[in-house]
Amino acid sequence: NAGVTQTPKFRILKIGQSMTLQCTQDMNHNYMYWYRQDPGMGLKLIYYSVGAGITDKGEVPNGYNVSRSTTEDFPLRLELAAPSQTSVYFCASRYRGQALNSPLHFGNGTRLTVT
C-alpha cells in the first residue's frame, strides 16, 4: 500500500523556470492538500481539493496553480519560480465521510530550491 507518493524528492530551479510537483494517492481519498514548510516554521496550506474537478485556495496560494482531474492525482504547478518558493512541499490526503474529522496522510515531501 503506497499511500501518498510525491515526485520528485528534490529539485533545483532557476528563477523564472516552471515545474510541476506530482502527487498521487491510492487510498481513494476524496480530499487532497498541498502544504509548504519553510525552515523553522509550521506547515502552511497552499491549495486543497474536496474532489475531482474542485479546488480551492489555502493560506498561501500566490505563485501556484493546481488541478484535480482524477481522484488519485493532485499536481502542483509553479509557473515562474522565485527564491521565496524555496521550501519543502508536502502533499496530503484524507477521506472525509460521515466522520468530519479524519487525520491527514502525508507524502514524504519534495525539497525545492530556487536560485
Partner 1 sequence: DQQVKQNSPSLSVQEGRISILNCDYTNSMFDYFLWYKKYPAEGPTFLISISSIKDKNEDGRFTVFLNKSAKHLSLHIVPSQPGDSAVYFCAATPGGSQGNLIFGKGTKLSVKP
Joined together, the cell numbers standing for residue 69 give 482531474
The SS3 call for residue 28 is: coil
Work out how close the CB of 33 gets to partner 1 at its nearest, in angstroms, rounded to a whole number. 8
Residue span 56-75 as binding mask against partner 1, x where in contact by CB under 8 A, dash where not: x-x-----------------
Work out how close the CB of 74 gets to partner 1 at its nearest, in angstroms, rounded to a whole number. 14
| Span near partner 1 by CB under 8 A; candidates 11-19, 27-35, 68-76, 77-85 | 27-35
If one asks whether residue 90 binds partner 1 (CB under 8 A), the answer comes out as: yes
Q: Which of 43, 107, 27 is nearest to 75 (CA)?
A: 107
Distances (CA, A) of 35 to 1, 11, 70, 98, 99: 22, 17, 19, 25, 23
Work out how close the CB of 30 gets to partner 1 at its nearest, in angstroms, rounded to a whole number. 11
| Span near partner 1 by CB under 8 A; candidates 18-26, 62-70, 71-79, 101-109 | 101-109
Instruction: Provide the sign of the torsion angle of the four alpha carbons 23, 26, 30, 36, taken in this order.
Output: negative
If one asks whether residue 87 binds partner 1 (CB under 8 A), the answer comes out as: no
